[in-house]
Amino acid sequence: MSFASLKKQSKLGSYTQKLIKEVEKMNTSGGGGADERFWKPEMDKTGVGSAVIRFLPAPDGEEFPWVKMYSHAFKGLGGWYIENSLTTNGGKDPVSEYNRELWNSGNEKDKDTVRKQKRKLSYFSNIYVVRDPANPANEGKVFLYKFGKKIFDKVLNAMQPEFEDETPINPFDFWEGANFRLKIKKVDGYWNYDKSEFDSPSPLLEDDDALEALWKKQHSLAALVAADQFKSYEDLEKRLKAVLNTNVPSRPVDEEVSSEDDSRGSFKPDFNARKEPVAVAPTSSNEEEDDALSYFQRLAQE
């Protein structure tokens, strides 16, 4: 996609519909590293933090302005298991299959173990830092930003608001998008983003040449979920056994239930029509929303 095409799509509004269709595809289809590409907000001594960022369009040569990543992070007798999940790209993953075994055992202790070992869902986008009080040197620069479902839901609500007096926007648009005000505070020991919100739509920069130069500085999102970011099934299984300090039971998993993505339910937005508020399951306080529990509950009922 050329820069001229990017601006043309902004005027037509067609790209927003395309983004929402991708969300639908994600919801119905079967980690960022500690390097200088990534930006993260910081809290002050009072336990609050703020920043203003702008979500950016898809990088040159890529189709969508975000990617999602599933991962696992839990501790066993043999240490920590911190790995990207192969279910990110629709593959089978040893932790998911082991969790399935545990959940179907009918033992409540096993279900508690599953809850501790469940998948974590994260999203990645390119952002432009408008204001960063904790680190002013970041302002005016492009970074990768890792965020959870709470913020992603705010992005979706901006594209498809629930109320008639709200105007839909594409937060990833250079010209018709809007700055995002991150407001963070600690609630029960976890970071809470409930007060974060979008400003009114406005161009990110007034000069198209400057916008194009900024666009070309973006980082690849596809590279974050490329095959080389994941270990093989065999290596993950070996690591899982070492962490659990036991032999992981193994048995074939039905193709129809091998993917945890089935649990997300169907989100079928119609950008041209207002929608009734959609019931959303309560999110965990640490914003690591995960859809695995409903999946395992469904399996147990089969």
CA dist 291 and 281 (Å) reads 9
Measured CA distances, 274 to 166, 170, 171, 250, 269 (Å): 10, 16, 18, 47, 9
Residue 116: CB partners within 8 Å, gap ≥ 6? 74
For residue 262, give its domain range: 3-301
Count Cα atoms within 13 angstroms, Cβ side, for 203. Answer: 10
Q: How many domains does the chain have?
A: 1
CA dist 186 and 182 (Å) reads 13
CA dist 70 and 88 (Å) reads 5
How far does Cα 257 stand from its chain's mean position? 22
Q: Which is nearest to 20 in space by CA: 124, 180, 144, 152?
A: 152
Q: How are beta strands 190-192 and 180-187 bridged, if at all? A: antiparallel
Q: How are beta strands 120-131 and 48-55 bridged, if at all? A: antiparallel
pTM comes to 0.74
Asked whether the beta carbons of 51 and 131 are under 8 A apart, the reply is: yes
Asked whether the beta carbons of 148 and 95 are under 8 A apart, the reply is: no
pLDDT per residue of the chain (302 residues) written in tens, 0 to 9: 778 877 777 766 667 777 776 666 555 444 444 678 999 999 888 889 999 999 999 999 999 999 999 999 999 999 999 999 999 999 999 999 999 999 999 899 999 999 999 999 999 999 999 999 999 999 999 999 999 999 999 999 999 998 988 899 999 999 999 999 999 998 888 889 999 999 999 999 999 999 999 999 999 999 999 999 999 999 999 999 999 987 665 444 333 333 333 333 333 344 344 444 333 333 344 444 444 444 444 444 44
Amino acid identity for residue 203 in this structure: P
Measured CA distances, 121 to 31, 66, 146, 155 (Å): 10, 13, 10, 16
CATH number, domain with residue 275: 3.90.198.10
Q: Is the dihedral of CA 133, 135, 137, 139 positive or negative?
A: negative
